[in-house]
Amino acid sequence: MYERACREYKLNATRFLLLIGKLGGLTVAKRLINTPVFLDSLMELRKRGRLDISMEAMILKDRWKDLFTEEERDIARKRLRELGYRA
């Protein structure tokens, strides 16, 4: 999903993809969701009206529900809500 967003919206995902290659997608997602700041990529997706393809939105999908704690899902929900997106 992130690679698609990068292609379509010309986002730079080099560091993100390197981390995924080194640590794995779930570990990276958990680290990022537990970071208390909004990532630049999330703000870029907001500007482009595509929060629906953000990591936060993915975390809230039923498909991934069992991989994240309720606290992590609440963080994702709160971030999206603060940016005006209703998941």
Helices assigned H by DSSP within 1-87: 2-9, 14-23, 25-33, 40-47, 55-59, 70-82
Question: Is 70 exceeded by the pLDDT of residue 3?
Answer: no
What are the domain boundaries of the chain?
A: 2-82
Distance of CA 58 to the CA centre of its chain: 7
Question: pLDDT digits over 19-77, tens only?
Answer: 888 999 899 999 999 998 888 888 888 998 989 989 999 999 999 989 999 999 999 99
Angle at CA of residue 65, ends 59 and 69, nearest 5°: 85
Position 10 scores a pLDDT of: 66
Count CB neighbours of 37 within 10 A: 8
